[in-house]
Structure 1
């Protein structure tokens, strides 16, 4: 890995820290190395450094001269990143650092996620902690763990560890946006076992593969109508089951709950006498689906290839229930907000489906800024899955973050943005899950705002960060820290 050209980008202070961070494996729930890295960083600066009981790292830095009378600021970002790679990329996230490249105004990774979400926020805070020239009030840097798969770091942060009155969350992905609220969420898991049956000797096997989808963040990009590999695969299955008696052996589709699934692979069997018509049907349906998604997912591929006949398949009655339940399972926007223009209120991502060895598992992430609406959609999904005989569980629930339009620090950010850019910022809530709502439970008096540089394609190998936007963001952060309200 040679990221020299990245280190030479401006602002060098931030890009160098990002390159250092990206050399450290930091998958959600496997953050031991990055926690040790961050602890060593704080201690190396002779700053007060603490790792709390769940693994969050807190580094405190005194105010610079003349800033002692201003409110203490918590600078917050999360250490973990989503690990996703293209099928044709040979890469081991557990042992390799992210290999980066420059394409025009964008920094990207070579075939993997970049980790700009939320690594650029982490790197920005590191650069501020290391600087001896940036003017700022007393700082408490909070680096949380496991934001991407449960927010357990934020949930586990105890009251009394922070003294700050203002929290700046550096985890928003549009540089002209100031975040004041976000959606809450709940993980939905549906499981069941089933009896398998022997495959008849008159059957021929096929591998169905859906890949090349755009994918992305299941909160920030759910409104874009992007293809969901699990739902598209089920379109193939449900039609071929009804028309050609297709039988299902196994499925592996999707990945993390917060990533719109890009790939799905299924092993199926069809009577030899029906194979010619089956192949023609799949080809025709595949072309129709690709036409539907040519704007949002131009690289979509749907393939049907012959395979070795498996020993067993799902029995017909269970398969009938399964394909119909997945067809019925809501995916995408459930309701737009009636109060905030263009804001998704409630949505669901059918994130992962696995079928193998007599077991079905379906993973979803349901989000909403309105608790009652989230419950309604969760019960809608529960009903669909229970009708196919699944046990349905809810877990990982986290609250939304209610906007405070009277925030004192919001006024500072809006005024600074207008002065620096000669235009109004967009003050908005987002449909992603930010940690502010959770942190606010133990720190209810803390004034919170979220903002960040422009990032595209988060949670997918197309993730990229704008170079000019980071320059804009770096200036913005420094100007904000100069003018924090007095105590």
Structure 2
């Protein structure tokens, strides 16, 4: 493999990051990357274990003279969100990422980069690989399937861990030390469909060009959900023209705001001209509404087949689909009254798909309050069951509550002030982090989450700042040293 990052490597972090990016490691595809971590530990004679969930823990004993210092957990997750542009040919199950460097940024050609959370792995491996750093006993804990419900962290047996402090390197803004995060769950609403055969002309409607993004980090940025917009487009079109719905789908991950959505409809030949005029007119309306927040919006319509016989939704099923798309809650629901600018509760329709005689709506539900998280889940359950469907919730994870007295946070602030010459920001985040799970499993665990600057994670525009990644790595090393000398 030709190295793309060798020219910019810094203390091994980009070397390891490139090795990680060469291994397919999307959620539920953890075996190869997990075994890579095991091989790393074996070749260096480090104690490790790999569990049934493919989580990997690697232990490095303290630098001589600091064996009495509290153990530090360095924690991240090995899976990445797999998104790509429609024109890109890439198999996330088999292909490594096509890395590129542009000025201060690393990105992947047409796909997500997986800086979330590949940079945590790269940092951890670079520290484990270098015996010159001063540090307490280290437990590097790399979990699986964080992006789809934190299943690895939930399943991890933490009883062997000795860590009293934890660096969660799963944040994307340098200079911000996170001290709490939202809890969440995945809601799956499945509604049965009834079909009938009709004949007519098949058209495909496409919505594309939206920004998308992480449903926790970007949910407050007024980014349009393509599936919700498609529901509106179908509803508005129905006022002007009679059509039958064949299929509607959008989104690939429940924790990503969908950038694209597709619908197939059946119309009669006499209505084709009106259909095109209607879609063009509605496209102009939406583009005007979203000209600032979604300047890249595209609405397209293409004829697929003339005089075709095809299964379409019966009227009652069509009404059920439209009811979910138009009336089920989506987006920011409540802002925090305690922390200005923080979203307290939200949900995101991440995946919309039709298969095997049913339509499936998959939502990422988030809240800083477990009671309101349950309320949003109950809302979705109620509307689903009213429409004759089945509801399931999975991947329920706890919020990470703010710890008023944190020696770890005090130390990280002290080092930041010394290294950067300014104060870091102490913040909470609406996105879910594994910190809540670890805090619930390990008594009195002191946790701080931080990381280097990354932009547009969970989208093909994702990019990692090279200079920030270097600074934050040095900051991690200096914090470990300070914990020994403090």
- Under TM normalisation by the shorter chain, which class is it? over 0.9
In structure 1, the partner of 2:476 is 477
SS at match of 2:12: helix
How far is the alpha carbon of 1:124 from its aligned partner? 0.2
CA-CA distance at 1:245 after TM superposition: 2.1
Q: For residue 293 of structure 1, what is the aligned residue in structure 2?
A: 290
Moved more, 372-381 or 85-94: 372-381
Q: CA deviation at 1:184?
A: 0.7
Question: Where does 1:383-462 land on structure 2 (aligned, <5 Å)?
Answer: 383-462=382-461
- Counterpart in the other structure of 1:218: 215
Distance 1:133 1:89, change over 3 A: same
**Aligned counterpart, 2:253:** 256
Secondary structure in structure 2 of the residue aligned to 1:409:
helix
Query: What is the CA–CA distance in structure 2 between the aligned matches of 1:459 and 1:394, rounded to whole Å?
Result: 22
From 222, 229, 235, the counterpart of 1:238 = 235
Q: TM-score, normalised to structure 2's length?
A: 0.96
Q: Superposed, which structure 2 residues align to 1:161-240 within 5 Å?
A: 161-200=160-199, 203-240=200-237
Q: Is the 8 A contact 2:136 2:484 kept in 1?
A: no
**Gap change, CA 1:322 and 1:36, over 3 Å in 2:** same
Give the 3 Å change call, closer, same or farther, for CA 424–356 of structure 1 in structure 2.
Answer: same
Distance 2:32 2:465 in 1: 27
CA contact (8 A) 1:171 1:452 kept: yes
1:304 is aligned to 301
**Aligned equivalents of 2:111, 2:309: Cα separation in 1:** 32
Map 1:108-123 onto structure 2 (within 5 A).
108-123=107-122
SS of aligned partner of 2:431 = coil
* Preserved contact between residue 219 and residue 258 of structure 1 (Cα < 8 Å): yes
Shift in CA distance, 391/228, structure 1 to aligned 2, threshold 3 Å: same
Following TM superposition, by how much is the alpha carbon of 1:325 offset from its aligned partner in structure 2, in angstroms?
Answer: 2.2
In the alignment, does 2:147 pair up with 1:151? Answer: no
User: 3-state SS of the aligned residue for 1:92?
Assistant: coil
CA distance in 2, matches of 1:249, 1:357: 13
Q: Which residue of 2 aligns with 1:380?
A: 379
**How far apart, CA to CA, are the structure 1 residues paired with 2:296 and 2:372?**
34
The Cα of 1:7 is off from its aligned counterpart by 2.2
C-alpha distance in structure 1 between counterparts of 2:355 and 2:282, whole Å: 25
Q: Does the aligned pair in 1 maintain the 2:66–2:484 contact within 8 Å?
A: no
Tell me which of 276, 292, 299 is aligned to 2:273: 276
Q: Is the 8 A contact 2:135 2:484 kept in 1?
A: no
Within 5 A, what are the aligned runs for 1:118-133? 118-133=117-132
Shift of 1:485: 6.3
Deviation, structure 1 residue 183: 0.6
TM-score, normalising length: structure 1: 0.96
Instruction: Give secondary structure in 2 for the equivalent of 1:432.
Output: strand
Distance 1:471 1:310, change over 3 A: farther
Equivalent pair of 1:325/1:387 in contact (CA under 8 Å) = no
Structure 1 range deviating more: 300-309 or 35-44 = 300-309
Runs of 4 or more consecutive aligned structure 1 residues displaced over 4 Å after TM superposition: none
Deviation at 1:302, TM superposition (A): 0.8
Question: Does the Cα contact within 8 Å between 1:349 and 1:365 map onto a contact in 2?
Answer: yes
Conserved 8 A contact 2:415-2:482: no
**Aligned residue in 1 for 2:26:** 27
Structure 2, unmatched stretches of 5+, are none
Q: Compare 120-129 and 183-192 and name the one that shifted more.
A: 183-192
Unaligned residue ranges in structure 1 (runs of 5+): none
What SS does the aligned partner of 2:190 have? Answer: strand
Verify the 8 A CA contact 2:11 2:126 in the aligned structure 1.
no
3-state SS in 2 of match to 1:345: strand
Any idea what SS the aligned residue of 1:199 has? strand
